[in-house]
Amino acid sequence: MRSFDHFACIDWSGAATRWQPGIAVAQCEAGSSAPRLIPSPERHWNRSAILDWLLQQAEARRNILIGLDLSIALPFADRQSYFPGWEASPPDAKALWRSVDALSSHDDYLSAQSFLQHPEIARHFRQHRNKGDLFGEGRGRLRKCEYNGQALIEGINPYSCFNLVGAAQVGKSSLTGMRVLHRLNSAIPIWPFDPLPASGPVIVEIYTSIAAQASGVLAKGRSKITDPQLLDTALDRFSSKPHSPLYSRLSDHAADALLTAAWLRTHADQKDYWQPAKLKPEIAKTEGWTFGVV
């Protein structure tokens, strides 16, 4: 396996607003140094600023592993299509990203509301006061790495990206993230869609709850850390020095980013994380995979 010098986690947000306080970026270096938050260039981070930051990593050719806390594609394998019955359904993940960005090109702040208003696409989503006739029953469709991976990890309860209702929904974040991935224009390889390069930056999908559960510090039923001392205990489990105290209250977004950056550093050299047995070529092309699910 190749090595990295830097590790970063971006806790994402799907909010359709100019500023996204829910976005947090943390970084740490190889070794045991404490992860630190990267301050936003303006009032708060937003998706355009994150895109700029990612392009800076690409231009500098930094050996950095970057984890994005979002689902990198929609379910495909269960129906052999993202949107069954629609002849224009994208054939793979990169075409899906292109479609999300194109259909939402007039939406401000890299949001994806227009994509969700497309009459054929809307049929597959559960939205506020509008459940599409093709959404199905129960929690909705899941990707293979979710129902046959994340769901097998104790304390992890994956949600369908087709569900856009409720505090735990992840669909809006994922769709806005796809716009950013498309606009990177292949400047950074994105695993597992692209081959792992010998050097330079790499993006992987991460699920911050996996890092939180792996730390072993959370009580049953909890998935978030907001207590600074508990965060330092969790960081210690990943051979990391304590984080620098923050001047404001420790948000769960900041804690997620700090802890997951340290978790990435600890696990980046695990071969089975890069070559999970359940990750087949078709899945790698259409659905992607969550780093840390084997």
How far is Cα 115 from Cα 87, in angstroms, rounded to an integer? 16
Does any domain span residue 129?
no
Rounded to 5 degrees, φ, ψ at 45 are -70, 150
- Domain span including residue 191: 1-122+169-294
Does any domain span residue 156?
no
Mean pLDDT of 270-291: 97
Q: How many helices (H) and strands (E) does the chain have?
A: 11, 7
Type of residue at 113: Q
- What pLDDT sits at residue 185? 96
Reported as a single tens digit per residue, the pLDDT across 5-61 is: 999 999 999 888 888 989 999 999 999 999 999 999 988 999 999 999 999 999 999
Identify which of 232, 233, 254, 224 has the alpha carbon closest to the alpha carbon of residue 9. 254
Does any domain span residue 269?
yes
How far is Cα 8 from Cα 265, in angstroms, rounded to an integer? 9
Does any domain span residue 140?
no
Spatial strand order of the sheet with 36-37 comes to 36-37, 24-29, 6-11, 64-69, 202-205
Higher pLDDT, 136 or 278: 278
Reported as a single tens digit per residue, the pLDDT across 219-256 is: 766 778 988 999 999 999 999 999 987 756 789 999 99
Query: Going by DSSP bridges, is the β-strand pair 6-11/36-37 parallel, antiparallel, or unpaired?
Result: unpaired
Rounded to 5 degrees, φ, ψ at 49 are -65, -35
Output the CA angle 131-132-137, nearest 5 degrees: 75
Does any domain span residue 201?
yes
- What pLDDT sits at residue 248? 61
Does any domain span residue 257?
yes
Ranking 153-157, 206-210, 248-252 by mean pLDDT, the lowest is 248-252
Q: Are 93 and 193 in contact (CB under 8 A)?
A: yes
Higher pLDDT, 234 or 137: 234
pLDDT at 169 over 60: yes
Identify which of 80, 112, 255 has the alpha carbon closest to the alpha carbon of residue 179. 112
Does any domain span residue 142?
no
The pTM of the whole model exceeds 0.75? yes
- What pLDDT sits at residue 80? 98
DSSP annotation of 290 reads B
Does any domain span residue 132?
no
Distances (CA, A) of 64 to 12, 17, 95, 107, 292: 18, 29, 26, 31, 17
Number of domain units in the chain: 1
How far is Cα 75 from Cα 42, in angstroms, rounded to an integer? 35
Helix (H) or strand (E) holding 292: none
Mean pLDDT of 91-116: 97
pLDDT at 150 over 70: yes
- What pLDDT sits at residue 151? 81
- What pLDDT sits at residue 1? 73
pLDDT at 278 over 90: yes
